[in-house]
Structure 1
């Protein structure tokens, strides 16, 4: 029997003021879930002002907001992104997760919630 084929590819844009950290953490997630999903980290917007142009340029399927954003900022980011792509799947990390619990908790949280977002 052939192994199951991963679902995707899903093009992902992150919104994170620390682009290198975003790339590293998403890289870990992509590696961990590659049997189930094909995720391509297309770009990162480092500021709310960059979201519209980044989403227009990369046309992602999914957008993640990082844990440095307040719920209000995350909501603003998502509404800007959805103006460009109304069907965009979005996911916001809880404020403070990275600071309080570290990168492993972030990776774990994303992986826990991916099936609900992508399946």
Structure 2
């Protein structure tokens, strides 16, 4: 008997929503045998975190690499004010600019299993 898989509802914080959707889609495809991840929405800016987390009640929030650690921490604190046990992860600042989108996808494929368990 297979155990019921957790459904992960992911919200991203990324100023490039189409790129977020594309990269997260690649990550979801790569991890689909292990995790049921649905990318439910993207916040184009930090001001959208509170309304979108309130609306969707995600259990995962990722901040893209354009945010500083301080900005990511602000987004995470805002998300936790609505969903206290939300899992959060900040992609290292500058990863996309320095190494390109493939590096972001490769990074997430390694890091997401550590986060989701």
- TM-score w.r.t. the length of structure 1 is 0.94
Match of 1:46 among 23, 28, 44: 44
**Residues 95 and 87 (structure 1), Cα distance of their counterparts in 2 relative to 1, 3 Å cut:** same
- Tell whether 2:20 aligns with 1:15: no
Instruction: Mark the runs of 5 or more structure 1 residues left unpaired by the alignment.
Output: none
Count, aligned residues: 117
Instruction: Mark the runs of 5 or more structure 2 residues left unpaired by the alignment.
Output: none
**Structural RMSD (CA):** 1.4
Conservation of the 8 A alpha-carbon contact between 1:11 and 1:60: yes
User: Residues 40-67 of structure 1: CA distance to partner in whole angstroms, max 9, x if unpaired?
Assistant: 0000000100100000000001000000
Match of 2:24 among 23, 26, 30: 26
Runs of 4+ off more than 6 Å: none
- TM-score w.r.t. the length of structure 2 is 0.95
